[in-house]
Amino acid sequence: MIKNSSFALIVLNWYEKHKRELPWRETLDPYSIWLSEIILQQTRIDQGMAYYLKFIDSYPTVHDFAAASEDEILKMWQGLGYYSRARNMHSTANSIVREHQGKFPADYASLLRLKGVGEYTASAIASIAFNLPHATVDGNVFRLLSRVFGISTPIDTGIGKKEFTKLANELIDERQPGQFNQALMELGAIQCTPKKPDCENCPLNNVCVAWKNDLTESLPVKKGKTTIRKRYFSYLVIEHGQYTYLNKRTENDIWKNLYEFPVAETTEKSDLFSTLNEHQPFFPPETEIQIKKETYWQKQVLSHQHIFYRFIYLKLAGKINIPSNLIRVNKKDIFNFAVPKPIEKELEQNNWL
């Protein structure tokens, strides 16, 4: 069994030679570290980089972030998904300005109390910004530790998370915990990859249980798959003179506080007639309805849901009944609103103005 000090030294030496140059690694500013960590949750670095730079440029301090409206934050976040992250960030920025005089708490327990900050993010900020010995355990670390130490405890269970977190905290280099955490995550991200890991060039291959026993494909272990919910959305893209209509999603559901076209949700694919019938109160008898286009069904994959969606383009003339939940929007202003990914893609691909 490798000694903890030797493990840390090997990982840190590897990191010094092979780490990727990333802007959030050039600072100890807790705001910048917090911003990068939240953006990179469920997001690849190549995609998250542009968003990080855009946010830092627009909101260089937590005061600037807090001063923005939630709609502005959501619009800038558009395309990243998991929008609760953005809403929680805005709430947290305001609480830091209001309750902490614009300074991030400098201890783990206080960081953990911030909205949207879990154990991983609190550990990252505490270790990198404040040099506190709290291990960050993400998917990369789970995978690396599982393989190196031959641990078959499922990583998606409470017992597994406690076991791996305990091990990571035992291994951490207390003199430079931030560097160690980043090194361990980086080694998992670019060397000990989920598929086809580069074991031959791994600095830990001489002590890796999985490498020695041909277990890299079977580790780490997960207990079971998540049940996927299927939902079907039919959007009505209404052209009424120079206007269209949007609804703001306000319930505790996907895409909360984003804007969308009027939608009919069903449990299976619906035909055009039933979809229009669903919106019948929208159209009094004197309304002239022209169906301009109906798109094919497409699919948006979320973590626990598959959204099947299509767009029905309507041109209306005469009187229409506007439900109280809809807002009238000039068509040329449609791009000012933060919308879910399916609508963003549709607006980019179709010039309907």
Tens digits of per-residue pLDDT, 103-112? Answer: 999 999 999 9
Say which residues have a Cβ less than 8 Å from residue 296's Cβ, sequence separation at least 6. Answer: 310
- pLDDT for 169 equals 96
**How many Å apart are CA 123 and CA 121, to the nearest integer?**
5
Task: Sketch out the chain's domains with CATH numbers.
Answer: 4-136+165-192 (1.10.340.30), 229-349 (3.90.79.10)
- pLDDT for 2 equals 62
Share of the chain above pLDDT 90, in %: 77
**pLDDT one-digit tens code per residue, 317-351:** 888 888 888 999 999 999 999 999 999 999 988 76
Residue range 194-199: mean pLDDT, rounded:
93
**pLDDT one-digit tens code per residue, 252-309:** 899 999 999 999 898 888 888 777 777 666 677 777 888 899 999 999 998 789 999 9
The Cβ-side half-sphere exposure at 190, using a 13 Å CA radius, reads 12
Total-model pTM? 0.83
| pLDDT exceeds cutoff 80 at 24 | yes
| pLDDT exceeds cutoff 70 at 217 | yes
- Per-chain mean pLDDT for the chain: 91
- pLDDT for 91 equals 96
**How many Å apart are CA 266 and CA 287, to the nearest integer?**
25
pLDDT bin (cut points 50, 70, 90) of residue 149 is very high
**pLDDT one-digit tens code per residue, 87-103:** 999 999 999 999 999 99
Q: Catalytic residues, which ones? A: 37
- pLDDT for 256 equals 92
**How many Å apart are CA 202 and CA 215, to the nearest integer?**
15
| pLDDT exceeds cutoff 80 at 4 | no
**How many Å apart are CA 120 and CA 108, to the nearest integer?**
10
State the amino acid at position 209 in one-letter form.
V
